[in-house]
Structure 1
């Protein structure tokens, strides 16, 4: 039963990856997806934390500790799962899919960029509710860019999303 479910998810992943990959080659879209993927690299998250301290010190004292707890948890879980599952990236697993940028590591599941993006969206969206939807849209676009760039399967991105949200919620609960 589990093998059938796995095969169905893998078939769905493969088909969706191939469809999304077929959009590659449009210069402007390629550049946009490259930029979105880089936005998820993590450097910008530190900038958001610093900006929060500048704009609202009291709020930063609540959110930044939660963020640190959440990121430590997320990175730890991400690394353990990634090294245990050892899932190949789409550009290595599927013919006709190419990587539009170098991968940060060898394996695909789950998407760490997506996990971090949804972690940040959850943290900042909780802290500043009016910005929740824009943060979620940006996080979703970062996740999509990881598929577009040939680095992740859709299920990698969905797992990363769940991991990021869960770690943010745990970080917020512990830091409260």
Structure 2
């Protein structure tokens, strides 16, 4: 099964590399999205904004989810799985961003984005839908930039949703909501 997933991942990455048109504008946009997604910075900024605007529980949920990702995924899963990134396995891929220092699985950008999106759905469904669109763009940018395989992104999305649900549960307990 694992080799089937790897084969599927490689076929999709090859398809993206060969068939998705490359030009300056989408590449610049993907690089910008990558930059603001690094370390979950856009979501942490949103959390600070929510806290400042009187939505403390939701801001704390996002911060909790970001910290949970860092401890569980970044410090544990990525160091156990140690999956090479697409550009590391294929010398034909030209990297458009600074070389990521961690392993590929799971996508941190997708994990943090989908954790925050899950939380925002609890806060306000309309805001959640907007965040979902942004999170999908973030996830797709990781594929476009060739820094993740599709399964890295899909697992990042799934772990992010679970992470967001855990954050909602824990902070609601603490706030007695």
Say whether the fold is shared (TM-score over 0.5): yes
3-state SS, counterpart of residue 130 of structure 2: helix
Q: Which runs of 5+ in 2 are unaligned?
A: 173-177
Match of 2:57 in 1: 62
Give the structure, 1 or 2, with the largest relative contact order (CA under 8 Å, sep 6 or more).
Answer: 1
Matched, 1:37 2:38: no
Shift of 1:24: 5.4
RMSD: 1.5
Matched, 1:25 2:58: no
The 1:21/1:91 distance shift into structure 2, 3 A limit, reads: same
Shift of 1:125: 2.2
Q: Could you list the per-position Cα deviations for residues 30-84 of structure 1 after superposition, in whole angstroms to 9, with x for gaps in the alignment?
A: 11111222231122222212322344x0xx2211222232222211111211111
The 1:85/1:24 distance shift into structure 2, 3 A limit, reads: farther
Tell me, yes or no, if the aligned pair for 2:48 and 2:59 is still in contact at 8 Å: no
Give runs of aligned pairs for residues 41-56 of structure 1, distance below 5 A.
Answer: 41=38, 42-55=40-53
Farther off after superposition, 61-70 or 25-34: 61-70
Matched, 1:76 2:71: yes
Give runs of aligned pairs for residues 146-165 of structure 1, distance below 5 A.
Answer: 146-165=142-161
The 1:137/1:108 distance shift into structure 2, 3 A limit, reads: same
Number of residue pairs the alignment of both structures matches: 169
Matched, 1:11 2:7: yes
Distance 2:7 2:169 in 1: 37
Match of 2:127 in 1: 131
TM-score, structure 1 normalization: 0.89
Tell me, yes or no, if the aligned pair for 2:51 and 2:58 is still in contact at 8 Å: no
Q: Which runs of 5+ in 1 are unaligned?
A: none
Farther off after superposition, 20-29 or 124-133: 20-29
